Amino acid sequence: DGRLTFSPGNQTVDLPFINFMKRYGTVFLNAYTNSPICCPSRAAMWSGLFTHLTESWNNFKGLDPDYVTWMDLMEKHGYHTQKYGKLDYTSGHHSVSNRVEAWTRDVDFLLRQEGRPMVNLTGDRKHVRVMEADWRNTDKAVNWIKEEAINLTQPFVLYLGLNLPHPYPSPSAGENFGSSTFLTSPYWLEKVTYEAIKIPKWSSLSEMHPVDYYSSYTKNCTGDFTKQEVRNIRAFYYAMCAETDAMLGEIISALRDTGLLKKTIVIFTADHGELAMEHRQFYKMSMYEGSSHVPLLVMGPGVQEQQQVPDVVSLVDIYPTMLDIARIPVPQNLSGYSLTPLLRGKAENELPRPSWVLSEFHGCNVNSSTYMLRTGKWKYIAYSDGRSVLPQLFDLTADPDELTNVAIKFPIIVRSLDKILRSVVNYPKVSSHVQDYNKRQFISWKQSLGQNYSNVIANLRWHQDWLKEPKKYENAIDKWL
């Protein structure tokens, strides 16, 4: 959640290395993902293209494996490149459940697809390395800096992808389980200031926007939660952020120990945030701030120190920025714009960048293609074909918690924002294209299973609900097809 990198969000947890980057670099106050889910978001970041252009519709469908990323171009131009950890931007990752849930989101049924969010404390006050896989990748990156980078005669670019602060798998939810367990140790939990944790306000279920209700239901969040449960989920999430911050610290320390820190640009960002029980949801897949607002901090040579940039920016801007830093010509067809003028503290009026950012979502846990335009104080969210599902409009200055949809109150603003949105993406057409894609994918998957279909579909992540009335749900799918 990008809001943790600046005030007041950063008062809930101690993030010393994020603070170090703020002191010696630039923090972006309004950085957004172009799609609030792993694979589509990373596809946008690695390609510099909006999601409707990459056609990375869900966590199964990303970039083609041979797509030329900014890192490929840097390698071609003489950079030594190295990647560790989670990449997740090409096709074919994630569980079968994840795919089928995305393909069947237009089916007229409601099934819980995730485990109920919960917390789990492990180890003792000395237990530092909770997310072992991330630590192993961090160690590899640190060793590479100390053993390889220091001896290179050419410039290098190193990428480290972490899984934290992602919730952990919950095996109790079934074989293709979701990840609904917030796990940490007492060591990290002590970094969290419990008194500073805000308990989010929730609308009543009957007042929720229909898409929000669907998300809440499929994420298993419509039941009763005590304030203590909600506070714990948020605290454990913040503790997981503290552990992530420590991994960033390992990289910064390795660069400092080798004398490389002064001549290396460091960028810290994320594919999406975490709702952590805001709006009666956990996870991502939403245009609310907790899910769509990402951290973006940059420090290094030529970057303004102690600078806070209010301009709206998004992950597609990483591609042209990396090329700009490396003095490589930037291709013309990109969706993003280089951040280097902002990093150097140039006045806004010199910059040929739009005053809006676009985010869109087409995957599971949401029963409609979703498009978000953020500009000035406004966040406009349009759904599907723009008619069948009502839009949302939030004034983030007056209503930072996004509790009051003012779309009906400001029809002229809605019209003007919708016009901008349609000039960027023909969203009714894209939504219709995604619906066709989902149906085609589902049909070919169903055919590939033959006689096994009924058994396989019943035992995906939604099995606890499905097995109560399997015929009813199969019939709903037949009707949709």
Cα–Cα distance for residue pair 396/371, rounded to 1 Å? 17
Alpha helices in 114-197 (DSSP H): 132-147, 186-189
Write out 3-30 in H/E/C secondary structure.
HHHCCCHHHCECCHHHHHHHHHEEEEEE
Is the bond into 165 cis (omega within 30 degrees of 0)? Answer: yes
Query: Cα 167 to the chain's mean position, in Å?
Result: 13
Contacts 24+ apart (CB under 8 A), 242-245: 242/13, 242/14, 242/15, 242/188, 242/191, 242/192, 243/128, 243/130, 243/131, 243/164, 243/165, 243/184, 243/188, 244/134, 244/162, 244/164, 244/165, 245/15, 245/16, 245/17, 245/18
Among residues 38, 39, 241, 364, the one annotated as catalytic is: 38
Q: What's the burial of 390, exposed, middle or buried (CB within 10 Å: 0-12/13-18/19+)?
A: middle
38 belongs to the catalytic site: yes
Q: Are 465 and 112 in contact (CB under 8 A)?
A: yes
Helix (H, G, I), strand (E, B) or coil at 194: helix
Cβ atoms of residues 17 and 4 within 8 Å: no
Q: Which of 296, 280, 247 is nearest to 1 (CA)?
A: 296
Q: How far apart are CA 453 and CA 446, in angstroms?
A: 6
Beta bridge partners of 119: 182
Active-site positions read 38
